[in-house]
């Protein structure tokens, strides 16, 4: 199961906190599928990828209750915790960075915290997508619910494509392979100028 975190509703669509949703949306479009099911307090689709059954899921519970949807779906399909990959934004990573981790704490992310609470475990892999810190003294709560700065928004489409690739690698090769192939990449403009 690949879970993208975000908040439902058009007001949040292009915000930093919805990077997980944006990755799932991009992947589902490339697969030619739509998240038509409304079960488990989510929008989801069960589909096959080169013979492997996968579930793409976006909780519609708002961020701080994401764990409800993840737990309900995981229980229904009898999925081990380590076969659930969560894609989410990360304030502590600069824009242009993706970090894949095997497990760990929530790092202040309320969606991840909710999933840990509902699964009763930290043993699920994540794809953390860097959104950076506020540049202009914005409150972090307001910052994550705002769109990317103009120069950052130019970088994000490439980041989302790599995140989709990371999801595919997870399905076929597992989290260790994803960490080895993805964690060294950086899409910041500064790196491109060198």
pLDDT value, residue 77 = 94
Pick the CATH number of 2-193 from 3.30.300.170, 3.40.50.1470, 3.20.20.70, 3.40.50.620: 3.40.50.1470
- Read off the pTM: 0.93
The CA distance from 162 to 31, in Å, is 15
At 193, phi and psi to the nearest 5? -75, -20
Calpha distance 102→28 (Å, rounded) = 24
Q: pLDDT tens digits, residue range 174-185?
A: 999 999 999 877
In the chain, count of helices (H) and strands (E)?
A: 7, 6
pLDDT, position 194:
33
CA-wise closest residue to 2 among 163, 118, 180: 163
Name residues whose C-beta falls within 8 Å of residue 163's C-beta, 6 or more positions apart in sequence: 19, 23, 87, 98, 127, 129
- List beta partners, residue 171: none
* pLDDT tens, residue by residue, 41-76: 999 999 999 899 999 999 999 899 999 999 999 999
What local confidence, expressed as pLDDT, does residue 117 receive?
96
- Could you tell me if 129 and 23 are in contact, meaning their C-beta atoms sit under 8 angstroms apart? yes
Q: Where are the domains of the chain?
A: 2-193
Q: Do 88 and 167 touch, CB atoms closer than 8 A?
A: no
Do residues 103 and 125 make contact, with C-beta atoms less than 8 angstroms apart?
yes
Q: Which one is catalytic: 17, 88, 109, 118?
A: 17
Q: Residues 134-192: pLDDT tens digits?
A: 999 999 999 999 999 999 999 999 999 999 999 999 999 999 999 999 987 777 654 44
Query: Is 17 noted as a catalytic residue in this protein?
Result: yes
Residue 170's Cβ-side half-sphere holds a number of Cα atoms within 13 Å equal to 28
């Amino acid at each position: 199961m690949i879970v993208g975190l975000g908040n439902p509703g058009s007001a949040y669509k292009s915000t930093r906190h919805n990077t997980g949703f944006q990755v799932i949306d991009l992947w589902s479009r490339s697969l030619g599928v739509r998240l038509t099911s409304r079960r488990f307090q989510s929008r989801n689709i069960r589909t096959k990828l080169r013979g492997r059954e996968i579930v793409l899921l976006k909780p519609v519970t708002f961020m701080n209750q994401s764990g409800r949807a993840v737990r309900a779906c995981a229980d229904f399909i009898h999925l081990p915790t380590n076969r659930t990959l969560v894609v989410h934004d990360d304030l502590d990573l600069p824009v242009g960075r993706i970090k894949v981790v095997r497990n760990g704490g929530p790092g202040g992310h309320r969606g991840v915290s909710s999933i840990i609470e509902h699964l009763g475990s930290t043993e699920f892999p994540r794809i953390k997508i860097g959104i950076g810190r506020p540049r202009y003294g914005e409150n972090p709560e307001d910052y994550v619910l705002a769109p990317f700065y103009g120069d950052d928004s130019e970088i994000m489409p490439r980041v989302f494509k790599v995140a989709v690739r990371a999801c595919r690698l997870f399905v076929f090769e597992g989290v260790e392979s994803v960490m080895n192939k993805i964690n060294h990449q950086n899409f910041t403009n500064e790196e491109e100028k060198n």
